[in-house]
Amino acid sequence: MRCIFKKAPGCNPVLLFILWLAPLLVSAQDFAWTPGLLRAYTGLQKLKIQPAQQTLSVEPTGNGVRIFLDNYVDMLTLVTSDDDKAFASLSEREDERLDALKALDDTSPWKRVLLAEVRLHWAFAKLKFGKEIGASWDVIRAYKLLAENQKRFPDFLPTYKSLGTLHVMIGSVPDNYTWVARLLGLHGSVSQGQQELLRAQKDATFGLESRLIDLMVRAYVLNFADADSHSLQRLVQDHPDNLLLHFFGATIEQKNGHSEQALSYLTKRPTGNTYQSLPIVDNILGDIYLQKGEYVTATTHFQHFLTNYKGRNFLKDTYYKLFLCQWLANQADAQSRPYLQKVLSSGRTTVESDKAAQKFAEAYLKRGASLNQKVLMRARLASDGGFTDSALTYLRPYTEAKFPEIVEKAEYNYRMGRIYQRRNDPDAAIPYLNRALNFSEPGQLSFGATSALQLGYIYQKKNDRTRARSFFQKALSFKHHEYKNSVDNKARAGLSGL
């Protein structure tokens, strides 16, 4: 720049300024959110995949944002279809996309964020297809990219959407695995992650996605409160054309015992050819009608799901639920039992619901089930859906003494405790949950782990930190049960919250 000041002969100040500005212009072009790319991203957030693909097709291929969104399309296609053949054909694109992003401008704060997002897309997809090791490495590499970006660009809000999520997950890792996280250089806490997710919600681009992730973290890792449910309702109502929000709103509410609200989200969901097909919706609807005791309607939805679904997850769970529709309607054993045979011969045991279905089928086909178990199942389904009046109607004619088996006594007490807990009567719930815990400890039954977790929540709400901590630790102490991953994550998050 010396010639600018000395006015050297032949020096062109305009040309020199352009040469100085050129790297900044290249950086902007490498990661440019054009109006078309913003429309495509908005469409993907609504599960309008085909229109988004059409928009993307006319955007420059060298733009890192387009590479990220092309990858978003593949991820959504895979996780909504669970199609193994599609996964096999699309999975090689991960390295292509990563290589393309790595070649772009290193000084842009978007580079590491989008590299991490692509990694996380594939981690999510790999988990759906049983590739846990590959998914784990993608998560680790994504974390390191985001942590580095936070150091280099601490005020860049898009970093905090996924970094906050990962910090919550790291903070809720069970105690016996924390050494692994530290060894791999993963550090974070639940409270840190929540603060980062709140920060990310201020971002103009990723704000909506951050709000949804925050609610999902509260539902699946923390303890979903009534205030969270109201926030979710407002979010869905504010976006009536967003299928993704209606779908996740339904799964969150169903998970937290509000199946009537979940049904409302699904019946009001936007439909049409522009939206991605979601066969799993029929599975969720089947669940809700099963909880309501409407077995014929539930059966219809489960059969529709099996007809339209191409994946291998949730098959065992669906056949198990079809068995329940027949069994609880008091149909002949010859009519219901074949569904349990299908549980053993279909699908895989990657997700917890399929693992639970497999365990039930093996036990029932070996030993059968008593009438007491049928009563407990009706109460369980009604209570899980939030239909507590029906659940109490099933159980009121019974006392603990009418259940001869220890596992039945444990379940009876757990169901009664959860019913009263859902009816906002924690003092009535506590004795039942304690009784379930006492019956479950010697045999390490899952009812003990889940009872301890709920007691932890009750005492946390009462601000009795000592008892809350004790019960969260008790939940973690149960070593072998089919819900260990989810219970341990929630218990660990509960401890972090204290």
Average pLDDT, consecutive stretches of 10 residues, N- to C-terminus, the chain (498 residues): 42 46 51 96 97 96 96 95 92 95 95 97 92 92 96 97 93 63 75 95 96 93 89 96 97 94 97 95 98 97 95 94 96 91 93 90 88 92 95 93 93 96 95 97 92 96 95 92 83 85
> Residue 336: which of 316, 358, 372, 365 has the closest Cα?
365
Number of alpha carbons in the 13 Å side-chain half-sphere of residue 129: 25
Q: Minimal CA–CA distance to 287: which of 419, 220, 352, 381?
A: 381
Find, among 463, 387, 373, 442, the residue nearest to 418 by Cα: 387
Quote the CA–CA distance of 20 and 2 in Å, as a whole number: 13
Question: What angle, 0 to 180 degrees and rounded to 10, lies between the N-to-C axes of helices 484-497 and 190-200?
Answer: 90
CA angle, corner 73, sides to 72 and 79, nearest 5? 85
pLDDT at 170: 87
Stated as kind and residue range, the H or E segment containing 380 is helix 371-384
Q: Which of 62, 58, 57 is nearest to 29 (CA)?
A: 62
- Chain centroid to CA 306: 22
- By the 10 Å C-beta count (0-12 exposed, 13-18 middle, 19+ buried), 438 is classed as middle
Specify whether the CB–CB gap between 453 and 491 falls below 8 A.
yes
Residue 285: CA count within 13 A, CB half-sphere: 21
Residue 492 tokens read as 């660990």
Angle (CA) 485 487 491, round 5° = 120
Give the Cα separation of 487 and 452 in Å (integer): 10
Phi-psi region of 347 (alpha: psi -120 to 50; beta: other; left: phi over 0): left
Please tell me the distance from the alpha carbon of residue 431 to that of residue 433, in angstroms, as a whole number: 6
Q: d(Cα 32, Cα 5) in Å, to the nearest integer?
A: 34
Dihedral (C-alpha) 456, 461, 467, 469: value to the nearest 10 degrees?
60
DSSP string covering 87-131? HHHHTTHHHHHHHHHHTS-TT-HHHHHHHHHHHHHHHHHHHHTT-
Cα 99 from chain centre: 28
| Residue 37 neighbours by CB under 8 Å, 6+ apart | 55, 56, 59, 63, 65, 66, 69
Q: Which of 111, 110, 105, 168 minimizes the C-alpha distance to 139?
A: 168
Whole-model pTM over 0.95: no
